[in-house]
Amino acid sequence: MPMDKFNDINIFVRSAQTRSFSVAAQQLGMSPSAVSKAVMRLEESLGIRLMNRTTRKITLTDDGAAFYERCRQILGELEEAELELKRAQSTPTGTLRIDLTTELGQLHIIPALPQFIKRYPDLKLNISLSNRMADVIEEGIDAVVRIGVGRDSSLIMYGLGTARLIVCAAPNYLKRHGIPQTLEELQHHNCISFVSPWTGRVFDWQFQDDGQQISIPVEGNLCLNNGKSLLDVALAGVGLVQVYNYIAGEAIATGKLKPVLENYAVPGSPISVIYPQKRYLSAKIRAFIDFMSELMKQLRQQKIVE
């Protein structure tokens, strides 16, 4: 429907409600003659007389009364839809689909979610855990939490903090095998490696030496495909592990693990909420970003992230 015709219908409905062109004009911020011309335009386009006019008042014809009732209902539904949309923009409602990076989700985000649920009782959460490169738009995911830098220009990255890789081990392991002081000494230690659950590839350990980032293949008697599992075996004194600070930070703070080779640590990677580019950010995503920002602030204070 052309916008001019829609405006004419709106003017007709207001005129029918007030039974006066002048009152309708006052309410709409128009002149009475402009209101009268809009109704006449509508009648001409429909080929039907909608109103009888006298010098004192206007009345609806039978066709006009039937048309008015239908238009009034439609405009009322449009107004209700607009109000619902505005409420959705201001109050988080509906279903929020989030994919979390596995270990950060397991250790810190999931345990904090009851606070988020209590804050927004009208919001339904659909949470998944993975470290894969999810196609946010294709899979209909509202947002993901990931570590690292994205390359998709259709997505927005909202930075929350920094994750840093740490090499660490239990004090009893270091007491038995010594504390490595150089990268070369890693060959004399049992280094528990992370293996990709999708490709089966064992990841080299990452370090920085003389300003250059280097990858070092390490050897050990165990490979695992989950960061939480790496934490568990490190706590058991099995060997050295290289994990993100949000995995080992609490154990290090309580003395259950001890960091080593800190002079060789690589710069941290960003922790971000990633979501599709949109002109208007929905209230539910904004609420989740605010929640994650508060959570990361708490984790920074505990020195679990940076």
pLDDT value at residue 18: 82
Same domain membership, residue 221 and residue 98: no
pLDDT value at residue 86: 66
pLDDT value at residue 148: 86
Residue 15 belongs to domain with CATH number: 1.10.10.10
pLDDT value at residue 211: 84
Q: Is residue 9 part of a domain?
A: yes
Give per-residue pLDDT as tens, 133-178.
Answer: 777 777 788 999 999 877 776 788 999 999 999 999 999 999 999 9
Whether this prediction's pTM lies above 0.85 is answered by no
pLDDT value at residue 199: 83
pLDDT value at residue 75: 82
Host domain of residue 293: 94-163+269-301
Same domain membership, residue 294 and residue 146: yes
Same domain membership, residue 181 and residue 138: no
Residue 175 belongs to domain with CATH number: 3.40.190.10
pLDDT value at residue 280: 64
> How many separate domains does the chain show?
3
pLDDT value at residue 87: 59
pLDDT value at residue 233: 96
The first and second tokens of residue 49, run together, are 């007389």
Which residues of the chain, if any, have pLDDT below 50? none
